[in-house]
Structure 1
């Protein structure tokens, strides 16, 4: 009996010790579940301003040339005066823009959260360094009044085209995939142009016989498209936010501009006017392509 009591006491002590030891062991709870932080939702709604720079490829066409008098038309028909010419010129362009976007939706349409249609309007003005003069000559046996002659006669003809700046006012429509925007654009274009045609006298490459110019602000249309990306706060390009705006975006775009056509007249001048040699008229058109990149500060 005493043995049985002794065994029971020993078992109780052992059980108590085991329970206390287990309480001191570290718990084995389930490991925490880490959910990825949601991507920041960007909205394109808001005003912005920025700068741009790129490449411009311009074309000025002089064509449909007609003469005032019979001798003028004879010069065109015989080829001693050109009936058309195209000046191609390319160079650098740089300027600035200002605009406003409004994003429709953004709660999770096609493309996920932050996606939606973006509409807006943008105005810009840019310098262009397009300025070119083409000069060429021909030699024939036609005299001053386009009559066949024995002596060789050389005539110099010259065309000049210049575009000092180009501006546009455009609508923009696109689709945003959160921070990434694809857009199309189109609207009104205007530019300061200078176009001139000079036909020099027979064997007198410094004496204009017929000359005229068409210059000033010309208007037309523009269209194109591009892509734009909003930088995140931790982007390696975040140093670009020198104005501490609410967001910085970078863009690349293509624009096609057309400033319409005008009639350029170039009458007889100097000695040719004194001789009553008439004059010419032609159609002139300025157009081109722009590829550029830019940065916008959204406020």
Structure 2
């Protein structure tokens, strides 16, 4: 009899535990489920951009004023370069293709030389611009690129004045080409910073006055190293 009572008690306890477990399973959990992992959006170089730049340029060509009687050449110089640029990039996987145009002030003309105080003065002020294709490889927010295209400008040093001979030549626009490359990094999704170098080669001309008395030759070639900041329009 006693064994039967113990068996009944044990069975009742088991039934009660099972019932309470089932009720607990039906209740909402007090803990929230772990949130799903959301990866940060990958940066893209695609889109329009515009910005400003500044740097240094130096003459690499022969820009000289030569008088056979005096043999006085001009001298190329280096100086400040600065301006603005705008362009568009399109990214395909790791590869980025684009186009860019810029306009620059450039103090990389001819220092000139003198015979007395007035012979063959130089003029260092000028400007140039480019319209270029860009192609590069993106490593997330870093872009390594090359660039090449069309160049134009009026680089200082193309003016000559001999008060005795009465010869005067004004500056003029020239056309040519450019090639270069650089590195750009996206600081934020809107702002990027870049460092680049360009070699610019404009038209070469010879000018003569009074037969062969004055020969003015200019090879307008120069290098540029500049840093810039761009704003990317999303």
TM category (shorter chain) comes to 0.7 to 0.9
Q: How does 1:1-299 map to 2 (within 5 A)?
A: 2-19=1-18, 36-46=37-47, 48-59=48-59, 61-63=62-64, 65=66, 67=68, 72=69, 75=70, 81-82=71-72, 84-97=73-86, 99-104=87-92, 106=93, 115=94, 117-130=95-108, 133-136=111-114, 157-194=119-156, 195-198=158-161, 208-209=164-165, 211-230=167-186, 232-233=188-189, 247-267=190-210, 279-290=213-224, 291-298=226-233
Report the Cα distance in structure 1 between the residues aligned to 2:65 and 2:161, rounded to whole angstroms: 16
Q: With structure 2 as the length reference, what TM-score do the two structures score?
A: 0.75
Q: With structure 1 as the length reference, what TM-score do the two structures score?
A: 0.61
Q: More strand by proportion, 1 or 2?
A: 1
Q: Per-residue CA shift, 1:83-108, capped at 9, x if unaligned?
A: x33221301411232x333333x2xx
8 Å CA contact retained: 1:163, 1:191: no
Q: Per-residue CA shift, 1:30-66, capped at 9, x if unaligned?
A: x9666642342344444x2412221131326334846
Q: 1:7 to 1:95 in 2, by over 3 A?
A: closer
Count of aligned positions: 227
Secondary structure at the residue paired with 2:38?
coil
Report the Cα distance in structure 1 between the residues aligned to 2:18 and 2:161, rounded to whole angstroms: 111
Match of 1:149 in 2: none
Report the Cα distance in structure 2 between the residues aligned to 1:185 and 1:173, rounded to whole angstroms: 7
Q: 1:172 to 1:221 in 2, by over 3 A?
A: same
Between Structure 1 and Structure 2, whose CA radius of gyration is higher?
1
What residue ranges of structure 2 are gaps of 5+ in the alignment? none
Please provide the CA RMSD for this pair.
Answer: 3.6
